[in-house]
Structure formats: C-alpha cells, structure tokens
Amino acid sequence: MANCARIEDNGKKRIVIIGGGFGGLELAKSLKDADVQVVLLDKQNFHTFQPLLYQVATAGLEGESIIHPFRQIFEAQPNFYFRWAEVQAIDTTTQMVETTIGLLRYDLLVMATGATTNYFGDKLMEKAALAMKNIDDALELRNTVLSNFEKALQIDDEEQLNSLMDYVIVGGGPTGVELAGALSELRKHVFPKDYKELDFIKMDIHLIQSGPQLLKGMSEEASRKAQQYLEDFGVKIWLNRRVQSYDGYTVTLDTGETLITRTLIWAAGVNGAPIAGIKPESILKGNRLQVDVYNRVIGYENIFALGDVAAMVTDENPQGHPMMAQPAIQQGKLLGKNIINLLAGKSLTPFQYHDQGAMATIGRNHAVADLKIFNKEIRTQGFRAWVIWMFIHLISIVGFRNRFVVLFNWIWSYFSFNKGIRFILGKTHENIPVEAVTQKAVI
Amino acid sequence: MANCARIEDNGKKRIVIIGGGFGGLELAKSLKDADVQVVLLDKQNFHTFQPLLYQVATAGLEGESIIHPFRQIFEAQPNFYFRWAEVQAIDTTTQMVETTIGLLRYDLLVMATGATTNYFGDKLMEKAALAMKNIDDALELRNTVLSNFEKALQIDDEEQLNSLMDYVIVGGGPTGVELAGALSELRKHVFPKDYKELDFIKMDIHLIQSGPQLLKGMSEEASRKAQQYLEDFGVKIWLNRRVQSYDGYTVTLDTGETLITRTLIWAAGVNGAPIAGIKPESILKGNRLQVDVYNRVIGYENIFALGDVAAMVTDENPQGHPMMAQPAIQQGKLLGKNIINLLAGKSLTPFQYHDQGAMATIGRNHAVADLKIFNKEIRTQGFRAWVIWMFIHLISIVGFRNRFVVLFNWIWSYFSFNKGIRFILGKTHENIPVEAVTQKAVI
C-alpha cells in the first residue's frame, strides 16, 4: 500500500485546501466554526503578503516581516490542520491528493494554488530572468542587485559595467511600476553612498510595457500620473514593446531595439498553477480552472478552485476576475459559507465581486489610487494616495509583530532616506561569469 | 599578469584587514582619521553580532536584525574601502593577498579572520553536526528544528519520533547554555501550540560538557546557578563526558552511553582560522597565530593578527586571551592607535586586557553575570542579571534600526510568550532521509 500522510480521521468531512495564499487563508479562516476537518497543504510553512515583495527585493523590508507562520495564524482554530507538503497530483476517482508526505484522502478539495510566472515557453528567458512571485524570488533579487554593484567595482570595460548597473523590468503592472520606483530611490539616496567609486548616472532603469499605458486596468489618470512620476525619477519607459529574447546579457525587443543588462526582472504575464489530475476540458487558456459562480470546478462535484487559479467566466467577466488579492479574498470568504451550507443541504450563494479599486506606489510621497468606496469612485494621486496606500497595506498585513516591524522600517526609511536590509544573504542569481564575457569583449 | 583587485592607489599606505568581526570592525573604525587607505575584505557584506546568533537559531529574532552592512557602518569614513571577497592565501614576499576578486597589494596586513568550528578532524561529525558560528549556521538550525517537527507529524515509530524531537548540544559554554535554554522555552511555550498532535514530554534537550561544570571560566556561583536554571527548565545535563562519534543518528559518548538524535549542535571547540601563506612557526596549537604585545605576528614586520585568530602568549596568559568579543574589540582599538604611531615613527603601546567579566542568559528572567566594574567584581544571577544582559547586548548591537527591531522583538516575545520567526526559509540541514531509517527499523 502506498505511503499515507498521517492525519487523524476524526469522522468529520475533510476539506483539503491546496495553497495558503490570500484565498486559501481566508477560506480556512471562514471555516473556523464548521463541524469539519480543515487541512491546509502548502510547500512553505508561512503565508506571504505578496504586495510588499518588491520592498523586500529592494532592501526596504526584511523578508520575515511580510510572512507569517500558518501554525501561528490558526493557533486557536481546533478544526485546522497544517501539513508542510508539496502536492504532485490529484486522483479524482479515489479522492486522493498525492503529496511529498504521502497520499491524503479528501471529501472536498479546494485548489488555491495561485499563479506562476509565464515565460510563454521561452526556456532561455526562464533561466536568465528573475521572477517576482514569492519570497525566495524577492530575496534572490535583493542579493543579485547588491552583488552586481560589488562586482561592478572590479570592472573597467564600459559595456560590462553598464550590464551590471542597468536593470530591465518587463511588465508595467503594479509590481513592475513599484519595483522601478523603488530601484530609482535606491539609485538616488542609497547606492551613491555605498559605492562611492561608481558613477550612478550610468545606472539605467528600463521599464517595458507591451501596451500603450502603464497600470492597465486602472484609470487613465492613474496611468498617466504613474508614468509622469517614474519619468521624473529617471526611469526609462518603453511602451508598446515586447521582449523578444534575453540570453542573460542582451535584451531584444520586438521593435528590434536592444538593451544590455545582467538583470532582467520578469513582472509580466502570469499563468494559473493547477495540479495534474484535473481533466483538460476544465482548464482554460492561461492554465486557469473554469469554475461556476460557486467556485466549483466545471465537471466536478466536490472540487473547488479560487483566486488566481480560478476563472469564473460569466457574460460580465469573459476573462474571469483579475488575478489580484481582492477576488481571492472575497471568494475565500464566500466559499467557506457555501461549504457549510452545502454540507447542511442548504442552497448556495453565487459569488459577486466587489471591486474596491487598485493602487500602486511609485516612491516616497508618490502613489496613485483608484478607490471604490460605497460605490463611489475616488481617484487620487501623489502624497494623499501614498498615505492611503501605506495605511491599507499596513492594516492588511497578517500579525501584529509584522505590522509593527513594517511600520518601523517605513518610518525609519522615510526620515533617514535609507534602506537598511542591504544584505547579500542566501541565494544570488547566477549568470554567465562576468570574467567570461569580459575576456570575450577583450579578445 | 595575474588579475588584480581594482582599488585606486592613492599614494597612501594601504592597511588590508581580513575579516569584519568585532576586532576588524573596531580596528577599521579607529583608523578613521589616519592618513592611510583602509581596505576591509570579508566574504559577507555585513558584520554579524554573534552573541545573538542563538536567538536567530531559535526563532526569536530575524537574521537581519543582528547583522549590519559594512558599507553603511563606514559611510562617513572617506579612507575606508570595502571589498566583498574571500581571501585564499597571502604572499608575504610580494606583499600580496590572493582573493576571489584578484590580487591585492598591502603595506600592512591585519588578520582578523576569527575562528572556525573545530571537529578535531572527525569528518563524519563535521558532515552530520550543525555548527553555530555564523548567520548561515543559525538560519540553518532554525529551519532544521522547525522541519524536524513538521516531519515528526508523519512518524509512527517511537525511536524515529524521538530522533526528530530530541536535541543534543555539545559544549557547555555560553552558546551551548543559551541555546539549551532557548530550546526549552520553545518546548514550553511555543511548540505545543504549533504541533498539537505531538507530545512534548517526549522532546529531550541534552547538553554535553567535557568538564565538571558549565560556563568554564565564570565563577563557581554562576556555573552552579546556570546548571540549576537549566535543570529547572528540564534540560538534561551530561557533565564530564565527551562525544566520541556521531553518524547523524546515534551519538556515542566516551563513557559508552548513547543518545539518539537527528540534530546535534556542535558548540564546543573552536580553532583559529588563519590564511595560507604564514610560516608554520608562527602558528600555535589550535591554529592561532602567535603575536607579540603589539598584536604583531611573530616573525613578520608588517603582519598583525587580533581577536580569536591571535594568541598573545605571555607569562600571565600562557594560552593567549579568551576567544571572545572583548579581547578582539580592545585589541582592535589599540592596534588602530599603534598603527598610526608606527607610521609616524613613534613608540607603540603594549596591549593590556581589561577583563569586564562574562554573562549568559538561560531564559526569560534568568541569567548569570560575573561583572568587573572599576576593578570591582559583581556577581549576580536571576532577574537582575537578565536585565543587565539585555541592556548590555542591546547597546552593543551595531545600528539604530537593528537595536530597535531587537528591542521590539524582545518586548513582544516577553509579553506574548511567543517567538515570531518560525519560518522554514532557506537551507535546511539534510540528514539521512527519515524514510530510509524508518524502513530499516521496520525490516
């Protein structure tokens, strides 16, 4: 018999949730008082507050301040079980999840697996580019940026020097915009003090966006202001361009233009991340699982999906909801109630998305926000948007300890014009050795 | 010609310091106003406050709160140059340091390379044991402890379960004592809430000490109290015993007794960590470099050593000074002045160690301290010692940001009885797979 994951069978219906992102977390919480067994599986033992990843990547926050242990979050929820495991496949006929710790039976299964970076099948790009999806990515980017400058101190050749000092960010959504802004702050206030021998006029930050404006999906006003702020901060914005190829050194755009960089950050497309074992007809373009208005995966009775991996395709939303925190959180909350109703034989409530707007911060005192409060749209930019952005993010972070450490770091950074977490600690992105390319250039 | 590390030759005498621990840091600071070029080489881009490593290892502090970037520390010192490099060897005839970034010429060289864990040549032990010398070690220990319990949830076999839940700490100095105390706090206040399915009566913490008392070098009173506190916290203390062997599973003591554990922490002997290229006659037992009262390495004119790697052997101190922070700091300060005098042709001041005492914390409200203030000895234990311990460590941490984050974590932990950094993030110690041993036991 196959190895089985050990979780006591207490006679209750077992709800297995795969993934503890925003959606999975909300769902597990909303099942707090249900007479069921809630099992959360995640390959990390903590929840990640993804909206602040870019601040970890740019030395503004310690990684530990935006993550929170699942076991601590659910300390007071007796029906909750966490298992640190990666899910490899599901078997829908035997109702089993295959994981790195063995097989696990489910009564109801919820896929809350989120999204992965989509390189559109470009294997070279996947190897050469840096992603920005999880805490490991963010720490790797931080280490890479810092070690680039340490290496740059040893370089004479101008092109080699630029390849280490220049950054290319692909994708003009919130992550790309926020990262470009934070890098430009480091360039202005921090790096020139750290690396006095380098000339930071040489450091270019390129932001590449496939469409005609940044922050697609936000108001025209927000896009325009975000672009203006970034340009004021010296970020070079390339609109209406796609990256054709990247080999770890040369970026080629679809217009034929080229850029040289050792650090390309891929903040563009994402794909849903479903698990093997779901029938192909339930999987839509972009690898998302098609769900009905109750988040039930089409073609299954007892399998649900929510958040980024779920596409609730309706006439109103032919693409499903945006792959953002809010739809996942709202779906998680409602699905918890619906599961309780389902088990009690009661009728279910269809999901209705309450768009609360979107926001992005560009740098100190500069943000853009399109808010929807009581169905009233409020558009604001600049200092006021920046204060709102900070407030909303601060109250959204899980855990008092984290909230306090983040707030302290923000206050300290604001008054000192400094970013304190400039450590090369852990994995650094390995590219072609600088020496190899240098020698090639010399020959 | 060999590749050379690029540092501008500004015509000034170049002092190369290898290692930015307590001694190297103090030395570089004390050369602030000297008309020289100070070059600090370190394989990490930050200074580590080693006395709090054990709190990082036991989920009490984030790693980032006890490390500080060198470039930030020396931001306002124009004669200071940092290079992120590992030193491979030195050539004393050409006055060159061979590093991972190329050759570097020196006028004066200072070895501040510290100490490494000494496994007395036992290769199996070196592979199977965890060390506690740097931030990577501390993070690896934290990840290993947490993943042990995650794995334990999957184990039926009693012996296997104990092997994951039990800890053996070798060495009853401050690190061993503080680690044992912190683990016992986790066992009492934190882990039972996290892993409700495990029975923490089964979790044993063993502390092995070769001599007849803990905290050798401290007063008999301090040793006795430390032992009493640890025993009250349920730590099993094994005095007058040495570890004969450890294969990753079974610990064999020289008395023939055996213990089973997957996690043995080696906090016993340390060796000096000198660099290849120094003549063997200058290297003493324990790999320390013999220095005169001016910290000059015996047999060389322009090579100095300080801190753990230096043994200033005198009639008073036949073993050199203790391998602790204080001698390194005091030597660093004086050596800076002496180097300035040396270059000015003035006479040098011999080093005199001012013993300020020693202390160790065992757990909340419990510490032991032997202090020497104005030549007056003050011995105190319990709550008062614990408050003094916290105060002295807090003011010793480099950087306002770190000091604040550490203080906040301490206050938060004190009132919540919690340790917030329970993340499996980064490297985990890889042992024999649990399954392999489980199967062996079943067969």
A223-261 pLDDT, tens digit per residue, is: 999 999 999 999 999 999 999 999 999 999 999 999 999
Dihedral pair phi/psi, residue B135, rounded to 5°: -65, -35
Please list, in sequence order, all residues whose beta carbon lies within 8 angstroms of the beta carbon of residue A244, skipping any fewer than 6 positions away: A252, A253, A254
Contact in structure between A128 and A246 (CB atoms under 8 Å): yes
DSSP code at position B79:
T
List domains and CATH numbers for chain A.
Answer: 14-43+85-117+270-343 (3.50.50.60), 123-268+364-442 (3.50.50.100)
Contact in structure between B390 and B407 (CB atoms under 8 Å): no
Rounded to the nearest angstrom, the minimum Cα separation between A244 and chain B is 33
Contact in structure between B304 and B108 (CB atoms under 8 Å): yes
What gap in Å lies between CA A280 and CA A290, rounded to an integer?
10
- The pLDDT-based confidence of B438 (bands split at 50, 70, 90) is very low
Which chain A residue lies closest to B404 (C-alpha atoms)? A408
What gap in Å lies between CA B36 and CA B80, rounded to an integer?
9
Average pLDDT of span B14-27:
98
What gap in Å lies between CA B102 and CA B325, rounded to an integer?
30
A398 compared with B333, residue with greater pLDDT: B333
B14 strand-pairing partners: B37
What gap in Å lies between CA A46 and CA A43, rounded to an integer?
9
Among A15, A3, A83, A88, CA closest to B152? A83
Tokens linked to B340: 């300035």
Question: Which letter, b or e, does each residue of B347-374 get, where b requires 16 or more Cβ atoms within 10 Å of its Cβ?
Answer: ebeebebeeebbbbbbbbebbbbbbeee
B347 compared with A373, residue with greater pLDDT: B347
Nearest to A62 among B62, B75, B404 (CB): B62
- The pLDDT-based confidence of B430 (bands split at 50, 70, 90) is confident
Average pLDDT of span A405-420:
91
H or E segment to which residue A404 belongs: helix A400-416
Q: Inter-chain contact B193–A408, Cβ cutoff 8 Å?
A: no
Distance from the Cα of residue B46 to its chain's centroid: 15
pLDDT score recorded for residue A98: 96
Q: Quickly tell me which residue has 């325009």 as its tokens.
A: A224
Q: Quickly tell me which residue has 């995966």 as its tokens.
A: A297
pLDDT score recorded for residue B429: 87
Among A120, A121, A85, A82, CA closest to A103? A85
Query: Which of the residues A39, A153, A186 would you substitute to probe the B interface, choosing the one with the greatest number of B C-beta atoms within 10 Å?
Result: A153
Chain B residues with CB under 8 Å of A418 CB are 72
* Residues listed for chain A: 443
Contact in structure between A15 and A108 (CB atoms under 8 Å): yes
Rounded to the nearest angstrom, the minimum Cα separation between A345 and chain B is 32
Rounded to the nearest angstrom, the minimum Cα separation between A355 and chain B is 33
DSSP code at position B23:
H
Please list, in sequence order, all residues whose beta carbon lies within 8 angstroms of the beta carbon of residue B126, skipping any fewer than 6 positions away: B117, B119
The CA–CA distances, whole Å, from B376 to B110, B158, B371, B386, B396 equal 34, 53, 8, 20, 22
Query: Which of the residues B7, B56, B84, B195 would you substitute to probe the A interface, choosing the one with the greatest number of A C-beta atoms within 10 Å?
Result: B84
Q: Inter-chain contact B44–A425, Cβ cutoff 8 Å?
A: yes
- Interface size, chain A vs chain B, as Cβ–Cβ contacts under 8 Å: 127
What gap in Å lies between CA B80 and CA B336, rounded to an integer?
13
Q: Quickly tell me which residue has 């100070």 as its tokens.
A: B38
pLDDT score recorded for residue A2: 56
- Using the Cα atoms of residue B294, residue B300, residue B301 and residue B302 in order, give the sign of their dihedral: negative
Average pLDDT of span B219-248:
96
Say which range, A36-50, A396-410, B289-303, has the weakest mean pLDDT: A396-410
Chain A residues with CB under 8 Å of B153 CB are 6, 83
pLDDT score recorded for residue A432: 59
What gap in Å lies between CA B273 and CA B197, rounded to an integer?
45
* Residues listed for chain B: 443
DSSP three-state, residue B358: strand
Nearest to A45 among B6, B409, B424 (CB): B424
Residue B437 has pLDDT above 60, yes or no: no
Q: Please spell the DSSP secondary structure of A178-242, one letter per residue.
A: HHHHHHHHIIIIIHHHH-TTS-GGG--EEEE-SSSSSSTTS-HHHHHHHHHHHHHTTPEEE-S--
pLDDT score recorded for residue B443: 30
Query: Which of the residues B405, B411, B414, B418 would you substitute to probe the A interface, choosing the one with the greatest number of A C-beta atoms within 10 Å?
Result: B405
H or E segment to which residue B258 belongs: strand B258-260
Contact in structure between A247 and A124 (CB atoms under 8 Å): yes
What gap in Å lies between CA A104 and CA B68, rounded to an integer?
45
Q: Please spell the DSSP secondary structure of B264-304, one letter per residue.
A: EEE-S-EEE---BTS-GGGB-GGGPEEB-TTSBBTT-SSEE
Rounded to the nearest angstrom, the minimum Cα separation between B53 and chain A is 15
DSSP three-state, residue B154: coil
A330 C-beta neighbours (distance < 10 Å), count: 22
Chain A residues with CB under 8 Å of B72 CB are 194, 418, 420, 422
Among B296, B294, B261, CA closest to B183? B261
- Reported ipTM: the value is 0.92
**Helix (H), strand (E) counts: chain A:** 13, 24
A336-391 pLDDT, tens per residue?
999 999 999 999 999 999 999 999 999 999 999 999 888 889 999 999 999 999 99
pLDDT score recorded for residue B133: 93
Amino acid making up residue B414: Y
- The pLDDT-based confidence of A443 (bands split at 50, 70, 90) is very low
Which chain B residue lies closest to A152 (C-alpha atoms)? B6
Say which range, A175-184, A395-404, B159-168, has the weakest mean pLDDT: A395-404
pLDDT score recorded for residue A438: 45
pLDDT score recorded for residue A321: 94
Residues above pLDDT 70, as percent of chain A: 97
Among B370, B39, B81, B64, CA closest to B226? B370
pLDDT score recorded for residue A96: 96
pLDDT score recorded for residue A374: 81
- The pLDDT-based confidence of B398 (bands split at 50, 70, 90) is confident
Average pLDDT of span A410-439:
79
B311 strand-pairing partners: B290
- The pLDDT-based confidence of B441 (bands split at 50, 70, 90) is very low
Amino acid making up residue A175: T
Which chain B residue lies closest to A402 (C-alpha atoms)? B420
What gap in Å lies between CA A386 and CA A367, rounded to an integer?
5
Please list, in sequence order, all residues whose beta carbon lies within 8 angstroms of the beta carbon of residue A6, skipping any fewer than 6 positions away: A102, B153, B154, B155, B156
Among B381, B347, B49, B72, CA closest to A417? B72
What gap in Å lies between CA A130 and CA A171, rounded to an integer?
13
DSSP three-state, residue A41: strand
Q: Inter-chain contact B404–A425, Cβ cutoff 8 Å?
A: no
Rounded to the nearest angstrom, the minimum Cα separation between A427 and chain B is 8
Residue B178 among the catalytic residues: yes
Q: Inter-chain contact B147–A84, Cβ cutoff 8 Å?
A: yes
Candidates A64, A178, A197, A430; catalytic one: A178
Contact in structure between A186 and A419 (CB atoms under 8 Å): yes
Residue A89 has pLDDT above 80, yes or no: yes
pLDDT score recorded for residue B432: 59
B375-387 pLDDT, tens per residue?
889 999 999 999 9
Which chain A residue lies closest to B439 (C-alpha atoms)? A3
Say which range, A76-80, A110-114, B3-7, B150-154, has the weakest mean pLDDT: B3-7
Among A190, A152, A183, CA closest to A167? A183
Rounded to the nearest angstrom, the minimum Cα separation between B327 and chain A is 27
What gap in Å lies between CA B243 and CA B156, rounded to an integer?
29
pLDDT score recorded for residue A442: 35
B247-286 pLDDT, tens per residue?
999 999 999 999 999 999 999 978 999 899 999 999 998 9
Nearest to A5 among B3, B154, B405 (CB): B154
Beta strand A243-246 pairing with A250-253: antiparallel
H or E segment to which residue A161 belongs: helix A158-165
Residues above pLDDT 90, as percent of chain A: 85
- The pLDDT-based confidence of A270 (bands split at 50, 70, 90) is confident
Nearest to B425 among A63, A101, A423 (CB): A63
Contact in structure between B47 and B73 (CB atoms under 8 Å): yes
A130-162 pLDDT, tens per residue?
999 999 999 999 999 999 999 999 998 999 999
Average pLDDT of span B37-58:
97
A272 strand-pairing partners: A115
What gap in Å lies between CA A176 and CA A360, rounded to an integer?
10
Tokens linked to A425: 């600690």
Question: Which strands make up the sheet holding A14-18, listed edge to edge?
Answer: A80-84, A37-42, A14-18, A108-111, A303-305
